[in-house]
Amino acid sequence: MVAQRMVDVNGIRLEIAEQGEGPLVVLLHGFPESWHSWHRQFGPLADAGFRVVAPNQRGYGRSHRPEAVDAYSVLHLVGDVVGLIQELGERQAYVVGHDWGAVIAWHTALLRPDLVLGVAGLSVPPPFRGAHPPLAVTRERFGGRFYWNYFERPGVADAEFDADIRTTLRKFLYSASATASPAGEIMQPLVPSGRGWLAAMEDPEVLPDWLTEEHLDALTESFAGGFTGPLNWYRNLDRNWELTAPWHNAVVTPPALYVYGDRDLVPAFPGAAELIAQLPDVMPNLVREPLELPACGHWTQQERPDEVNAALVDFLTTLAKTANATATATAGERTIG
């Protein structure tokens, strides 16, 4: 049974959902989502012997929503994960993320590999810092129409999305799913000039099979405080580029798993396909080839829960068994010594 509570972490309050006992697995949601995006993962992971915890990250749900834009930098967000692991009484954890949650999971493994027993990312591949600030790059390449640049304008996307939260979320979830692209076309994340982004999105008459009214209800309720906090994550993209300069050309070293859908808009970003193809060569502890899920859009763990659960359970249980065997062998050596 999933339980919810508030915890004090990194100087703020976070709302968390948790289930199970065993090694800690932290699940990090993306945009525009909440802890509830993992509702199909809690049972299988808990049944596999793990303590599963999914926070509403800062700016989301009932978690704290700092007013300052720069309070949503990647260092703050990684700090929240580090603080959460410690607040839960653990020294280390497995960290799994989707979309923006994957960005934070990868960066937690990059910046604090001592805390991460294994890391899995869904949709967004591992971070390799580019040569130039990302918002400047997309502004020049797409004439300011790329959604990151639309999001960076203070108050603009906030007002559009806040006007009808349920419709906003319904359009987002449908438009970025495989259901909206049955022939394999991938939605391009460009905002029409002089119009909001929602104007370009279809509003489905019937929800896809993987999205229920109950889930949409829960997600809508979690955005009652508006979209500004979540949008502030995007407004830090160039700041994050500056802050992570010391890790330029660094790679994620903990054991890693990457899963993505063949109809996801993120792997279709310019240069993403080439990066994914290179991952086995540049990721020292990638446990297998990147796992591409057929007929799967952006909402990986919701559109393909069975495949994602199987991949995560295999990844996590294999690592946990290895860790237990190592710990047993080390204890035996100490006893003999």
Beta bridge partners of 6: 15
Query: Which contacts of 250-253 are long-range, i.e. CB under 8 A and separated by 24 or more positions?
Result: 250/110, 251/110, 251/126, 251/128, 251/282, 251/283, 251/284, 252/106, 252/109, 252/110, 252/113, 252/119, 252/126, 252/127, 252/283, 252/285, 253/109, 253/113, 253/284, 253/285
CB 293 within 8 A of CB 324: no
What span, in angstroms and rounded, lies between the C-alpha atoms of 275 and 125? 8
What span, in angstroms and rounded, lies between the C-alpha atoms of 324 and 320? 6
Catalytic residue among 39, 80, 98, 99: 99
For residue 151, give the 3-state DSSP assignment: helix
What span, in angstroms and rounded, lies between the C-alpha atoms of 206 and 166? 14
For residue 159, give the 3-state DSSP assignment: helix
Q: List helix spans (H) across the chain.
A: 42-47, 74-87, 100-111, 134-142, 147-151, 156-162, 165-175, 213-222, 228-234, 237-243, 272-282, 300-303, 305-336
* Residue 76 annotated to the active site: no
What amino acid occupies position 89?
G
What span, in angstroms and rounded, lies between the C-alpha atoms of 170 and 78? 29
Residue 209, CA atoms < 13 Å, CB-side half-sphere: 6
* Residue 29 annotated to the active site: no
Q: Token pair for residue 65? A: 């929503």
**Burial of 321 per CB tally in 10 Å (0-12, 13-18, 19+):** exposed
CB 138 within 8 A of CB 146: yes
Q: Which residues belong to the active site?
A: 99, 298
